[in-house]
A and B are shown apart, each in its own frame.
Chain A
């Protein structure tokens, strides 16, 4: 069974700092990987989707990379802002149509 781990569980940084969130998964036979943000008590907002054949995707200040062979993905956030404060979740889809989620990294950006 696929297991997804996100480290660290919580992160606090001053505004303007660049940061990296980590996601690891046990079964490298994935179809794609998706990063989300979740504000407290709300639904998930899709940030980036990386297909298994891709190495990275970029959207604005966000860059996600994927290393399937090592079972790792990173989400890089440049020039962090207080509005980036949220929980960030990664999810992997295997060939069985099911998405497996990590427990998330809670990010606080201090003004």
Chain B
């Protein structure tokens, strides 16, 4: 059984650019959540997707958007990057909403 995978591992962008991060959920999992983790902090919930529909959103601006595909993989898109967007972005999948979450290794985004 394959776990949650994320790509790329690391990414460097400049202010104002756009970025797309990708996540493949664990086999059989139909729910994907995205989190942002700043250095020394706990993860902050961005949003959750369930069967290709957004199913909850945290306190993040609209320039953070996402997609979930029919195979339940997911993308996180961030437009107009700001320096404060530098963080570890984590994806988690679960068998269903509110079930145990399994995390991927994360994507480290640096905005210069």
Contact = CB atoms under 8 A, between A and B. Distances in A.
Interface of A: 4, 31-32, 34, 36, 41-46, 49, 89, 91, 93, 96-104
B42 A104 contact: yes
A103 B56 contact: no
B56 A97 contact: yes
In order of increasing CB-CB distance, the 8 nearest A-B pairs are: A101-B42, A44-B103, A97-B56, A43-B105, A43-B103, A49-B100, A103-B42, A98-B45
A57 to B, nearest CB: 11
B100 A46 contact: yes
B106 A43 contact: yes
B40 interface: yes
B87 to A, nearest CB: 12
Contacts of B58: 98
Contacts of B45: 98-100
B43 A44 contact: yes
A96 B33 CA distance: 13
